[in-house]
A and B are shown apart, each in its own frame.
Chain A
Amino acid sequence: MAMTNELWATLSQLKENWDGYGAAAPMQSTVELAHEFANLLDAMRRKSAQPCPLQISPTRIGGVLLEWEDCAMEHEVEINPDGSVGFLHSNKSTGQITTRKISPGSMQREFLQELQLLAAA
């Protein structure tokens, strides 16, 4: 889904069981962190020749998933309600997947805002 304010507002308003399988409603603080992260990615990818759209989805545990791809790789970032952030990179030609999870508290919203400014400079 395209990055619009409407999208983020809708994400914030999702209720419990939005998927019919008992998914959690996204937490406001998680949506805000994901929004800043998405802005950062958008600023960085704007310099790419042909940036693919950033896909944004709620996750079943109340987090937000950001997905995008380039010519060689698929990338995913899971912003989790416990404050942790998971990264996944999948090589399109080999199928090899690498992941990393960053612990809660080591990623701050203001820090991401600063990185956005740097990326856009």
Chain B
Amino acid sequence: MDAAPEIADDEILLRHIPGGTWWQAPGPRITSANFQLRPDRGETGVSVTRAKITGPDRLLLILGGDRAKGSRVAGVRVSDVRAMGLKVVALPVDDDSGHAEIQSDQVSLDDHACRKKLAKLFQFVDEPNVP
């Protein structure tokens, strides 16, 4: 099997941020609650998608996100994630060929401080839905 292609440093990774202040704190900003992993499900990293393959609208469609209910999409540059000591791995899945994971490497996503720093790196890439 071919190895997954390397993801370039200048690529942007996207993640769905569910609507409401549960996940989007006032500002709005993105909370660290979005980046905790479930070891009981064997999760190995934070699911993201590569913006050059899967755009924000397609991402929301795949995940059932609804802008009318406040869903938004946040993005982060790959080089910034790697600079934190995390790694980015391409993991295409059936319904999203751009799927990738941010995984622990020199630092661990189990670490609360790491998740806080990652949350601060992500920025919204779309405008909020104003009814």
Chain A interfacial positions (CB closer than 8 Å to B) = 1, 18-24, 53, 55-61, 63, 65, 67, 76, 78, 86, 88, 90, 97-99, 101
- A56 near B38 with CB under 8 A, answer no
Chain B interfacial positions (CB closer than 8 Å to A) = 16, 18, 20-23, 25-26, 31-38, 40-41, 43, 47, 63-65, 111-113, 116-117
- B117 near A97 with CB under 8 A, answer yes
- B38 near A60 with CB under 8 A, answer yes
- A20 near B63 with CB under 8 A, answer yes
29 pairs, CB–CB < 8 Å, chain A vs chain B: A19-B18, A19-B23, A20-B16, A20-B18, A20-B63, A21-B47, A22-B41, A24-B40, A55-B21, A57-B22, A60-B35, A60-B36, A61-B36, A61-B37, A61-B38, A61-B40, A65-B31, A67-B25, A76-B32, A76-B116, A78-B112, A86-B112, A88-B32, A88-B112, A88-B113, A97-B113, A97-B116, A98-B113, A101-B112
- B113 near A99 with CB under 8 A, answer yes
Known: A1-B22, A60-B38. 8 other contacts (CB 8 A): A1-B20, A18-B18, A20-B65, A57-B33, A58-B33, A60-B33, A86-B112, A98-B113
| A20-B18, A65-B31, A97-B116 known; A57 vs B38 contact (CB < 8 Å) | no
- B112 near A76 with CB under 8 A, answer yes
- B32 near A55 with CB under 8 A, answer no
- A60 near B34 with CB under 8 A, answer yes
- B25 near A55 with CB under 8 A, answer yes
A23 to B38, CA, bound (A): 8
Q: Which residues in A have their C-beta under 8 angstroms from that of B63?
A: 20-21
- B22 near A58 with CB under 8 A, answer yes
| A1-B20, A55-B31 known; A60 vs B112 contact (CB < 8 Å) | no
Q: Which residues in A have their C-beta under 8 angstroms from that of B40?
A: 24, 61
A120 to B38, CA, bound (A): 37
- A22 near B21 with CB under 8 A, answer no
A90 to B31, CA, bound (A): 13
Question: Which of these, B32, B37, B64, B112, contacts A20 with CB under 8 Å?
Answer: B64
- A21 near B16 with CB under 8 A, answer yes
Q: Which residues in A have their C-beta under 8 angstroms from that of B18?
A: 18-20
| A55-B26, A65-B32 known; A22 vs B38 contact (CB < 8 Å) | yes
Which residue of B has the minimal Cβ distance to A52? B26
Q: Which residues in B have their C-beta under 8 angstroms from that of A97?
A: 113, 116-117
